[in-house]
Structure 1
Amino acid sequence: MGILKQGVAAAAIGLVAASSTTSAWAEFPDKPVTLVVPFSAGGPSDKIARDLAEALRKPLGQTVIVDNTAGAGGTIGAARVARAAPDGYTLLVHHIGFSTAPALYKKLPYKTLEDFEYLGLINEAPSTLIGKPGLAANHFADLRQWINANNGKVNIANAGVGSASHLCGLVLQASLPSKMTFVPYKGTAPAMTDLMGGQVDLMCEQATNAVPQIEAKKVKVFGVTSQQRMALPALAQTPTLAEAGLAGFEMSVWHGVYAPKGTPAAVLAKLNAAIRAALKDPDLIQREEALGVRVVTDARLAPAEHKKYVEGEMRRWAKIIKDSGETAD
């Protein structure tokens, strides 16, 4: 066979192979898709993932299951997805902790930037600084004086090392001259229970989970971590921590969706399109806004921009975590 004929034959084989690969995924998904949440059921990330799962059903044409695989600050669930078959049927919904884990943990069972396909950032949620109901302070200025007067004696709860409440507490600690004692729990629910019961003093928790307790007056609220005040009725009169005295303070908890590395491009394109459609669902938007969560509509919905954003967050948090000395084993 001549060189020209060999080239034509090779090209033809390549086209057939490409066509076969594309057609093999033409029916995706033809079975339920699983969203792995690396945190306990009932927490903020779980609520967000369940809202997303419901909104994804229509554009995907399939049932979407939420599976909680909690532990080690979200790293166990993330590792599970990194090892899953790269077929688009097992996805990860992870929050800001996805970008902080490399700095918090000496050894991760996966590589954050290499073992996943990035599918898009989906939302951002501010947190609230809340305190036990019997706390003497009623405003942040009073609280700040109380923390300074009790240097090292103030307890601040979190849902575990690497959780959003832990990270928010680190930013708060970095903004204050006085030290606080971090008290980690195995999840948001037990931490919130002890805060309401007065066993701990403070908690920096997502508005998603704090608003019901604030409305029921089971905790005191001292500020929100967003750049602007929140429109939620329960928080409309609550100042941002920046305007309350911590200049430049801002911390949002974002969530993104990820697939195992090597997932076919055709599948990734379908998943990204479905996520974009889900985030335009009026019911989803209404549910998210009711929780104080903003649905992402900007360029970070694109996989490349999502990954670029996470890289920037990794650099930002690496310094904060190093300065705090708060790392996991």
Structure 2
Amino acid sequence: MNHPFKLVLGAAAILAAFGVCAQTYPAAGKTITIVVPFTAGGPTDRVARDLAEALRKPLGGATIVVDNTAGAGSSIGMAKVARAAPDGYTLLLNHIGMATVPSMYRKLPFNVENDFEYLGIINDVPMTLIGKPTLPANNYKELTAWIAANKGKVNLANAGLGSASHLCGLMFQSALQTEMTSVPYKGAAPAIADLMGNQVDLLCDQTTNTTSQIEAKKVKAYAVTTPKRLATPALKGLPTLQELGLKDFQVTIWHGLYAPKGTPAAVVKTINDALKVALKDPQFVKNEEALGAVVTTDKRLEPAEHKKFVQAETAKWGAVIKAAGSYAD
């Protein structure tokens, strides 16, 4: 028969171990892995690598690596983190996919709301509507005329089911009340590579992935998806889709940081505190602003507010996805 005093001592020892773990996090010599559920070279990967660099100092010089685990609209990488040890050494950096995966997939091996600790929103990223370099349309008016004249023949690329570019494409087709041929890729990098190579016609993607291509004139740029024009030098001349007549058309992609459910509260606080410092790092801010992204400074930096925000976004995008009938098994 177990002695109650021994049970109490055992429980105390476990709690003490968690306390030591939290106090020494991150431990010297242990690597922190940020899982990015998309391919290397894409916009989310770029944010993750910049953030990893900015997080090193506030986390005591810790070694931080990025692991690209792509596929199934980000759900494969999400599942990897959900089942990882809840010790703060495996994190997830994901975009709006956190809010769209529950509606995109009928069966998931995790629950977005309950299987993650929310660590804070990192940034907001506008989208740009761009076309292949040989597209005959030189402005938005010419583009819509070209789309109408080529009904049923227009190819619209995206970075895969549930990706930011897929969602923007769904809204664009709905706003124009026309259908285009969707061409999914395994990430944003191959999608934009084929666009530059004239293999597909159009793409709506994040400024973090398109700004340099627009600036180098490797693609044709038609509009941005924000309510107001952007101040970024390469994008400031682009009109908004709202001012071009697509009422209430607004798509802004956000990125957030997560840990497996059950990560000790002290570790969550340590990471959240470090994130707040990292988002003020001058180089990180400069990198984000150069790409048209806006670094978070509002209440969504708090874990509870981050979670509430994702819940609201899940409801919003669930309605869009349901209306489009865009599901995967």
CA deviation after TM superposition for structure 1 residue 147, in Å: 1.8
In structure 2, the partner of 1:56 is 55
* Greater displacement, 132-141 / 42-51: 132-141
Q: Which amino acid aligns with 1:305?
A: E
Q: Give identity over the alignment, percent.
A: 59
- Please list, as runs of the form range in 1=range in 2, the aligned pairs for 1:82-101 lying within 5 A after superposition: 82-101=82-101
- Please list, as runs of the form range in 1=range in 2, the aligned pairs for 1:133-152 lying within 5 A after superposition: 133-152=133-152
Q: Distance in 1 between matches of 2:74 and 2:132?
A: 27
Q: Secondary structure at the match of 1:191?
A: helix
> What whole-Å deviation, never above 9, does each CA across 1:148-168 have from its counterpart, x for those lacking one?
333222110011111111111
> What whole-Å deviation, never above 9, does each CA across 1:41-79 have from its counterpart, x for those lacking one?
111000100000000000101111111111111111100
CA deviation after TM superposition for structure 1 residue 19, in Å: 5.3
Q: Distance in 1 between matches of 2:147 and 2:278?
A: 43
Q: Secondary structure at the match of 1:25?
A: helix
In structure 2, the partner of 1:256 is 256
Contact map agreement 1:169 1:203 (CA 8 A) in 2: yes
CA deviation after TM superposition for structure 1 residue 14, in Å: 8.2
Aligned residue pairs total: 323
**Structure 2: 5+ residue runs without aligned partners?**
none
Q: Which amino acid aligns with 2:56?
A: R
- Please list, as runs of the form range in 1=range in 2, the aligned pairs for 1:62-73 lying within 5 A after superposition: 62-73=62-73
In structure 1, the partner of 2:23 is 26
* Greater displacement, 93-102 / 23-32: 23-32
Q: Which amino acid aligns with 2:23?
A: A
In structure 1, the partner of 2:296 is 296
- Please list, as runs of the form range in 1=range in 2, the aligned pairs for 1:1-329 lying within 5 A after superposition: 21-30=18-27, 31-61=30-60, 62-329=62-329
Give the TM-score normalised by structure 1: 0.93
Q: Secondary structure at the match of 2:143?
A: helix
Q: Which amino acid aligns with 2:326?
A: E
Q: What is the CA RMSD across the aligned residues, in angstroms?
A: 2.0
Moved over 3 A (4+): 10-21
Q: Which amino acid aligns with 1:196?
A: M
> What whole-Å deviation, never above 9, does each CA across 1:126-166 have from its counterpart, x for those lacking one?
01000111212111122122223332221100111111111
**Structure 1: 5+ residue runs without aligned partners?**
1-5
CA deviation after TM superposition for structure 1 residue 17, in Å: 6.8
Q: Which amino acid aligns with 1:107?
A: K
Q: Which amino acid aligns with 1:92?
A: L
> What whole-Å deviation, never above 9, does each CA across 1:214-273 have from its counterpart, x for those lacking one?
122121100011121111111111111111221111101100001000111111110100
Contact map agreement 1:141 1:245 (CA 8 A) in 2: no
Contact map agreement 1:223 1:238 (CA 8 A) in 2: yes
Q: Distance in 1 between matches of 2:244 and 2:316?
A: 24
CA deviation after TM superposition for structure 1 residue 20, in Å: 5.4
* Greater displacement, 149-158 / 12-21: 12-21
Q: Which amino acid aligns with 1:46?
A: D
